[in-house]
Amino acid sequence: MKISSLIGVKPVDHMNHAESSWLISACLAGNEDAIETLVRQYETGVFKLALSLCNDVSEAYEITQETFIAVLRSLPGYQERKSFKEWLYTITINTARSHLRKRRLMEKLRTTLTTLFQVEVQKSSTPEETVIQNEQEAVLWQALNSLDERHRIGVILRYFHELSISEIAEILSINEGTIHSRLHTARERLKNSLEQSKLC
Protein backbone atom coordinates (compact mmCIF):
# COMPACT_ATOMS: atom_id res chain seq x y z
CA MET A 1 0.00 0.00 0.00
CA LYS A 2 1.27 3.44 -0.89
CA ILE A 3 0.67 6.14 1.68
CA SER A 4 0.17 9.22 -0.45
CA SER A 5 1.08 12.66 0.80
CA LEU A 6 1.95 11.97 4.43
CA ILE A 7 2.81 15.51 5.40
CA GLY A 8 1.21 18.81 4.54
CA VAL A 9 -2.01 17.51 3.04
CA LYS A 10 -5.07 17.30 5.23
CA PRO A 11 -6.91 13.98 4.83
CA VAL A 12 -10.01 14.25 2.67
CA ASP A 13 -12.36 12.46 5.03
CA HIS A 14 -15.50 14.56 4.85
CA MET A 15 -17.70 12.42 2.61
CA ASN A 16 -21.40 12.79 3.24
CA HIS A 17 -23.57 9.87 4.30
CA ALA A 18 -24.75 9.01 0.79
CA GLU A 19 -21.23 9.03 -0.66
CA SER A 20 -19.92 6.92 2.20
CA SER A 21 -22.74 4.38 1.86
CA TRP A 22 -22.22 4.11 -1.90
CA LEU A 23 -18.48 3.61 -1.52
CA ILE A 24 -18.91 0.95 1.14
CA SER A 25 -21.47 -0.90 -0.98
CA ALA A 26 -19.11 -0.80 -3.96
CA CYS A 27 -16.26 -2.16 -1.82
CA LEU A 28 -18.46 -4.98 -0.57
CA ALA A 29 -19.27 -5.80 -4.19
CA GLY A 30 -15.55 -6.21 -4.87
CA ASN A 31 -15.09 -3.05 -6.91
CA GLU A 32 -11.32 -2.54 -6.92
CA ASP A 33 -11.58 1.14 -7.86
CA ALA A 34 -13.87 1.73 -4.90
CA ILE A 35 -11.46 -0.06 -2.56
CA GLU A 36 -8.60 2.10 -3.82
CA THR A 37 -10.72 5.22 -3.37
CA LEU A 38 -11.63 4.20 0.17
CA VAL A 39 -7.99 3.70 1.10
CA ARG A 40 -6.84 6.96 -0.46
CA GLN A 41 -9.71 8.83 1.17
CA TYR A 42 -8.62 7.93 4.70
CA GLU A 43 -5.00 6.76 4.58
CA THR A 44 -3.43 10.05 5.66
CA GLY A 45 -5.60 10.35 8.78
CA VAL A 46 -5.00 6.71 9.69
CA PHE A 47 -1.25 7.06 9.20
CA LYS A 48 -1.02 10.21 11.35
CA LEU A 49 -3.08 8.61 14.11
CA ALA A 50 -0.89 5.48 13.97
CA LEU A 51 2.25 7.61 14.05
CA SER A 52 1.05 9.53 17.08
CA LEU A 53 0.53 6.26 18.91
CA CYS A 54 3.69 4.37 17.95
CA ASN A 55 6.27 7.15 17.50
CA ASP A 56 7.91 5.35 14.58
CA VAL A 57 7.36 5.94 10.87
CA SER A 58 7.97 2.35 9.76
CA GLU A 59 5.70 1.03 12.51
CA ALA A 60 3.03 3.52 11.44
CA TYR A 61 3.25 2.21 7.86
CA GLU A 62 2.69 -1.33 9.11
CA ILE A 63 -0.19 -0.31 11.35
CA THR A 64 -1.82 1.59 8.48
CA GLN A 65 -1.56 -1.43 6.22
CA GLU A 66 -2.89 -3.77 8.92
CA THR A 67 -5.72 -1.35 9.66
CA PHE A 68 -7.02 -1.33 6.09
CA ILE A 69 -6.69 -5.10 5.83
CA ALA A 70 -8.78 -5.38 9.00
CA VAL A 71 -11.26 -2.79 7.71
CA LEU A 72 -11.82 -4.63 4.43
CA ARG A 73 -12.24 -7.94 6.25
CA SER A 74 -14.66 -6.42 8.75
CA LEU A 75 -16.59 -4.27 6.29
CA PRO A 76 -19.48 -6.76 5.89
CA GLY A 77 -20.20 -6.32 9.60
CA TYR A 78 -20.06 -2.53 9.56
CA GLN A 79 -23.25 -0.95 10.85
CA GLU A 80 -23.98 2.70 10.27
CA ARG A 81 -24.87 3.43 13.89
CA LYS A 82 -21.55 5.26 14.03
CA SER A 83 -19.86 7.15 11.22
CA PHE A 84 -17.39 5.29 9.04
CA LYS A 85 -14.55 7.53 10.24
CA GLU A 86 -15.32 6.76 13.89
CA TRP A 87 -15.42 3.04 13.09
CA LEU A 88 -12.18 3.29 11.12
CA TYR A 89 -10.36 5.19 13.87
CA THR A 90 -11.53 2.65 16.43
CA ILE A 91 -9.96 -0.11 14.32
CA THR A 92 -6.81 1.99 13.90
CA ILE A 93 -6.38 2.41 17.66
CA ASN A 94 -7.07 -1.27 18.32
CA THR A 95 -4.65 -2.31 15.56
CA ALA A 96 -1.97 0.00 16.91
CA ARG A 97 -2.36 -1.35 20.43
CA SER A 98 -2.22 -4.92 19.19
CA HIS A 99 0.81 -4.15 17.05
CA LEU A 100 2.66 -2.52 19.91
CA ARG A 101 1.72 -5.28 22.32
CA LYS A 102 3.27 -7.86 20.01
CA ARG A 103 6.49 -5.85 19.95
CA ARG A 104 6.49 -5.38 23.72
CA LEU A 105 5.96 -1.65 23.51
CA MET A 106 2.59 -1.59 25.27
CA GLU A 107 4.02 -0.50 28.61
CA LYS A 108 3.81 3.10 27.48
CA LEU A 109 2.43 4.38 24.20
CA ARG A 110 4.41 7.44 23.21
CA THR A 111 3.26 10.30 21.07
CA THR A 112 5.31 12.02 18.44
CA LEU A 113 4.13 15.22 16.84
CA THR A 114 7.41 15.98 15.11
CA THR A 115 6.19 14.92 11.68
CA LEU A 116 2.90 16.73 12.13
CA PHE A 117 4.73 19.97 12.88
CA GLN A 118 7.24 19.78 10.03
CA VAL A 119 4.79 21.53 7.73
CA GLU A 120 4.74 24.61 9.93
CA VAL A 121 8.50 24.57 10.33
CA GLN A 122 8.97 24.48 6.57
CA LYS A 123 6.80 27.59 6.22
CA SER A 124 9.31 29.70 8.15
CA SER A 125 10.74 32.44 5.99
CA THR A 126 14.03 32.91 7.84
CA PRO A 127 16.57 30.64 9.57
CA GLU A 128 15.89 32.50 12.83
CA GLU A 129 12.17 31.69 12.65
CA THR A 130 12.97 28.06 11.92
CA VAL A 131 15.17 27.84 15.02
CA ILE A 132 12.43 29.38 17.18
CA GLN A 133 9.77 27.02 15.80
CA ASN A 134 12.04 24.01 16.29
CA GLU A 135 12.51 24.98 19.93
CA GLN A 136 8.77 25.50 20.43
CA GLU A 137 8.05 22.19 18.69
CA ALA A 138 10.42 20.34 21.01
CA VAL A 139 8.84 21.90 24.12
CA LEU A 140 5.29 21.12 22.98
CA TRP A 141 6.25 17.57 21.97
CA GLN A 142 7.82 17.02 25.39
CA ALA A 143 4.73 18.35 27.16
CA LEU A 144 2.35 16.14 25.16
CA ASN A 145 4.59 13.13 25.53
CA SER A 146 4.50 13.57 29.30
CA LEU A 147 0.75 12.92 29.37
CA ASP A 148 -0.45 9.41 30.09
CA GLU A 149 -2.04 7.45 27.24
CA ARG A 150 -5.70 8.11 28.04
CA HIS A 151 -5.21 11.88 28.17
CA ARG A 152 -2.83 11.94 25.21
CA ILE A 153 -5.15 10.04 22.87
CA GLY A 154 -8.00 12.41 23.69
CA VAL A 155 -5.88 15.45 22.83
CA ILE A 156 -4.69 13.87 19.58
CA LEU A 157 -8.19 12.97 18.42
CA ARG A 158 -9.72 16.30 19.46
CA TYR A 159 -7.13 18.81 18.34
CA PHE A 160 -5.11 17.10 15.62
CA HIS A 161 -7.85 15.03 13.99
CA GLU A 162 -10.55 17.59 14.81
CA LEU A 163 -13.07 15.03 16.02
CA SER A 164 -16.09 16.02 18.08
CA ILE A 165 -16.56 14.95 21.68
CA SER A 166 -19.28 12.50 20.63
CA GLU A 167 -17.03 10.98 17.97
CA ILE A 168 -14.20 10.50 20.46
CA ALA A 169 -16.61 8.94 22.94
CA GLU A 170 -17.73 6.46 20.28
CA ILE A 171 -14.16 5.60 19.27
CA LEU A 172 -12.96 5.04 22.84
CA SER A 173 -16.26 3.52 24.03
CA ILE A 174 -16.58 5.84 27.02
CA ASN A 175 -19.14 8.51 27.86
CA GLU A 176 -18.87 12.13 26.74
CA GLY A 177 -18.56 13.40 30.30
CA THR A 178 -15.39 11.38 30.74
CA ILE A 179 -13.99 12.81 27.50
CA HIS A 180 -14.70 16.37 28.68
CA SER A 181 -13.03 15.61 32.01
CA ARG A 182 -9.94 14.07 30.41
CA LEU A 183 -9.54 16.94 27.95
CA HIS A 184 -9.88 19.48 30.76
CA THR A 185 -7.24 17.66 32.80
CA ALA A 186 -4.96 17.35 29.76
CA ARG A 187 -5.28 21.07 28.96
CA GLU A 188 -4.44 22.03 32.54
CA ARG A 189 -1.41 19.76 32.60
CA LEU A 190 -0.21 21.04 29.24
CA LYS A 191 -0.75 24.65 30.31
CA ASN A 192 1.27 24.14 33.48
CA SER A 193 4.02 22.36 31.61
CA LEU A 194 4.22 25.01 28.90
CA GLU A 195 4.13 27.87 31.42
CA GLN A 196 7.08 26.33 33.19
CA SER A 197 8.84 26.20 29.85
CA LYS A 198 7.74 29.81 29.12
CA LEU A 199 6.12 28.78 25.84
CA CYS A 200 2.74 30.18 26.83
Whether 23 and 79 share a structural domain:
yes
Q: Burial level of 104, CB count in 10 A (0-12/13-18/19+)?
A: exposed
The answer to the question of residue 11 being in a domain is no
Is-above-0.85 flag for pTM? no
Q: Has residue 4 been placed in a domain?
A: no
Q: Give CA–CA dist 148/144, Å, rounded.
A: 9
Q: Which domain-ending residue is among 67, 102, 137?
A: 102
| Domain containing residue 71: CATH number | 1.10.1740.10
Closest CA to 149 of 195, 101, 116: 101
CB 161 within 8 A of CB 48: yes
Domain of 41? 17-102
Q: What is the mean pLDDT of residues 158-163?
A: 81
Same domain, 95 and 27: yes
Dump pLDDT digits (tens) for 17-33.
677 788 888 998 888 99
Are 192 and 126 contained in the same domain?
Answer: yes
What is the pLDDT confidence band of residue 67, given thresholds at 50, 70 and 90?
very high
Are 98 and 131 members of one domain? no
